[in-house]
Amino acid sequence: MIRTVGGKGGDGCVSFLQLWCNERAGPDGGDGGNGGHIMFEASSNISNLYHISNNIRGDEGQSGSSQNCHGKNAKHTVVKVPIGTIIRNQNGVIIGDLSREGMMFIAARGGAGGKGNTFFTTDKENAPKVCEHGPPGEDCSYILEMRCIADIGIIGFPNAGKSTLLNAISRARPKVAPYAFTTLRPNIGMIQYADSFQLAVADLPGIIPDAHRNKGLGLQFLKHAEHCSALMFLLDVSSPEPWLQYDTLLYEMNKFSEKLANYPRIIVANKIDMPESKENLMELRERVGMAVIGISAKVGTNLKELLKEMRKVHLKQKQEEC
């Protein structure tokens, strides 16, 4: 939940003009400036929402001053978000969809500037001693979601080597450590091909049995998978019976969402550099009935072949969407 508060409007001014020949030349208090809005803007240069603070406050408008000088309007606070960001209110209702470059959503309007005493001059009251205080800005809270956080999401059990693989094929530098649930939120990496083609890849948090029942924060993890265009099943082929990992992942996908189970997928067997991996890889290919790419993310074995397949799957998916 992100709270946005528009900037307070500047206060109006109570002032009276004094000239050398006329000490009571009338009111000259200026108006306050408007407070700044909080706005979300879709940008192709932004790939995630991690930079956004939970509390965003707009700048205050400047107060008015004498000689009918109005206060300066505050600058609006523009928060860049990825293209495809969905904005929900506190009840979860979608109220904004920033689907194109440059689209904007006003999250919280700043308060209007208060009127100075000049504004209150009338035929009956030519020396008003009142002004307006600038009102506070709007205070609104939103839930931001990315429709698609990556072109391909890497899913697998904890310690399958997802972060190591993302580190090896992209410019991302995720935390890599031999602990369960090292990745607690998706790490996004960009793969840069030689011809300048790019792919966004997400290292999704590890999935464990009964994830669809929210075990191990499973529901949160599976929701991340829904925001990818295709999925890579990364299996630790050095572990006993690695095909059971695939069966479990597929089962959790089906239980959570039939749509997820039908996503385009790539099956990748990691850690083929380990002694016990060769026989496991052969049996894995027989059992899953699909092409399996054997790699070693740590050593770098077959990564070029994997990158070609990732590009092929992504382009095929884009053609089908068109």
pLDDT tens digits along 112-132: 999 999 999 998 888 899 999
pLDDT digits (tens, 9 = 90+) for 18-28: 887 776 778 99
CA angle 245, 153, 297 (to 5 degrees): 65
- Mean pLDDT value across residues 314-319: 84
Domain span(s) for CATH 2.70.210.12 in the chain: 2-146
CA distance 150 to 227: 7
The fold of 2-146 is Spo0b-associated Gtp-binding Protein; Chain: A, (2.70.210)
pTM: 0.60
pLDDT of residue 185: 56
Residue 175's pLDDT band, with cuts at 50, 70 and 90, is very low
282 contact partners, CB below 8 Å, separation of at least 6: none
304 contact partners, CB below 8 Å, separation of at least 6: none
Residue 82's pLDDT band, with cuts at 50, 70 and 90, is confident
150-321 falls under which CATH superfamily? P-loop containing nucleotide triphosphate hydrolases (3.40.50.300)
pLDDT of residue 108: 97
- Mean pLDDT value across residues 242-263: 83
Residue 207's pLDDT band, with cuts at 50, 70 and 90, is low
CA distance 295 to 240: 17
Contacts 24+ apart (CB under 8 A), 51-54: 52/2, 52/79, 52/81, 52/144, 53/2, 54/1, 54/2, 54/3
Tell me the one-letter amino acid at 30: G
Domain span(s) for CATH 3.40.50.300 in the chain: 150-321
Q: Detail the DSSP E strand segments found in 52-138.
A: 55-57, 77-82, 85-88, 94-98, 104-108
43 closest CA partner among 100, 108, 106, 107: 100
The answer, yes or no, to whether residue 105 has pLDDT greater than 50, is yes
